[in-house]
Amino acid sequence: MQNYVIGALRGIPLGSSKRAARMRAAGKRLPWLLPRGTKYLEKRFQFVHVDDMARLLVHLLNRPASDPSLTILNVAGRGEPITVQRCAEIAQAKIKRVPTRAACHAVLRLLWKLGISSIPPAALPYLIGSYTMDTTRLQHFLGEEYARVIQFTIEDALRDSFEDRG
């Protein structure tokens, strides 16, 4: 699984420069940059386990033809969203605090320009925001099947993304 949040948590310098390649070879990790202020550590995220998504897709493909042909669902693991602080703990990621959002953007822009990071500076709002969805419609749609289809919690889904890490 890969997106900007997971990339920031992994901290792998995935840029295309020779310096990034040397950093990867040395096992160096980039910190997750956040502006100062407790509110950024309290922002919340949701994750879904890849196995739960696969079960959901199978469920959708096997539903009766009489069901509505178009259903829009927000999908996330079971349970409450988790904080940035908890995400970093699970990923064993270092958080580096900088004075302001503008400073975060400037550092991201520099890492991007130097070919060290694969996270573009335009992703900053996603990295420091709180993006959660209401999954009530999914729960109602799946009904009694919800716990069978969505088996992992949000925290377990994230934790599993880091278990194979060396």
Cα(134)–Cα(68) distance, rounded to whole angstroms? 21
CB 77 within 8 A of CB 156: yes
pTM of the model: 0.86
Beta bridge partners of 82: 45
Lowest-pLDDT choice from 47-56, 68-77, 97-106: 68-77
Asked if pLDDT for residue 78 goes beyond 70, the answer is yes
- Beta-carbon contacts of 41 under 8 Å, excluding residues fewer than 6 positions away, are 34, 83, 84, 85, 95
Exposed/middle/buried for 144, CB within 10 Å: 0-12, 13-18, 19+?
A: exposed
Asked if pLDDT for residue 120 goes beyond 90, the answer is yes
Helix (H, G, I), strand (E, B) or coil at 143: helix
Cβ atoms < 10 Å from Cβ of 147: 10
Average model confidence (pLDDT) for the chain?
A: 92
Cα(26)–Cα(162) distance, rounded to whole angstroms? 19
Helix (H, G, I), strand (E, B) or coil at 98: strand
- 30-44 tens-digit pLDDT: 999 999 999 999 999
Beta strands in the chain (DSSP E): 32-35, 44-45, 82-83, 95-98
Which pLDDT belongs to residue 31? Answer: 95
As a whole number, mean pLDDT of residues 82-103 equals 95
Cβ atoms < 10 Å from Cβ of 32: 23
Asked if pLDDT for residue 21 goes beyond 90, the answer is yes
Lowest-pLDDT choice from 3-12, 117-126, 136-145: 3-12
Provide the 8-state DSSP code for 78. Answer: B
The structural domains of the chain, with segments of one domain joined by +, span: 4-162
